Homo-oligomer: A and B are copies of this chain.
């Protein structure tokens, strides 16, 4: 029985288990960032100073671990969007800042890059709930900017998601002249109302 199943049954985790759970997630983030998504479970275990068995006690498969990381990241994005909605300021600029911040996060996280690049569909699929939450918030941010007349009226939240998939997928291959910072600014500007 993995610990995640146990969490669902409600029994509280032992202190060391709670500590390791965090440690493993943290290690996974780091290792994936360094070696990409096909980093090995053994590496993650080593980095977390834990046996592989322990990793498997907490996450039944490598994919489950990846999914958890992606979920967390979507939650981070959602939190950023919520903060932005509370802030006042020119709605389009607020929105643009959210995009910039999210792109920066993606640049440092191979797990999310993998989910966004077409290859990780099934992972994305398992983060549905979090994605939809994020999508709702994005819709709201967009609506504001559109109401203010600052954003093209035909942009949907899915367009933003798809554009970010693109930006993120160009981060990993460094073909000559590929500068995602510059490209992102172009994309942002293209979203402005004419």
Contact = CB atoms under 8 A, between A and B. Distances in A.
A84 interface: no
B161 A118 contact: no
A168 B173 CA distance: 14
A116 B190 contact: no
A8 interface: no
Interface stretch (A15-23, A26-34, A75-83, A152-160): A152-160
Interface stretch (A42-50, A86-94, A119-127, A140-148): A119-127
Contacts of A174: 121
Contacts of A183: 158-159, 162
Contacts of A119: 114, 117, 119, 172
Please give the count of copies of this chain that the complex contains.
Answer: 2
A169 B166 contact: yes
A174 B159 CA distance: 13
Nearest to A38: B119
Given A118-B169, A118-B173, A162 B180 contact: yes
A190 B152 contact: yes
A159 to B, nearest CB: 6
Contacts of A190: 152, 190-191
Nearest to A179: B158
27 contacts: A113-B118, A118-B169, A118-B170, A119-B119, A119-B172, A120-B173, A121-B173, A121-B175, A124-B173, A131-B175, A152-B190, A154-B189, A158-B175, A158-B179, A158-B183, A161-B178, A162-B166, A162-B170, A162-B178, A163-B166, A165-B166, A165-B169, A166-B167, A166-B169, A190-B190, A190-B191, A194-B194
Interface of A: 113-114, 116-121, 124-125, 131, 152, 154-156, 158-159, 161-163, 165-175, 177-180, 183, 186, 189-191, 194
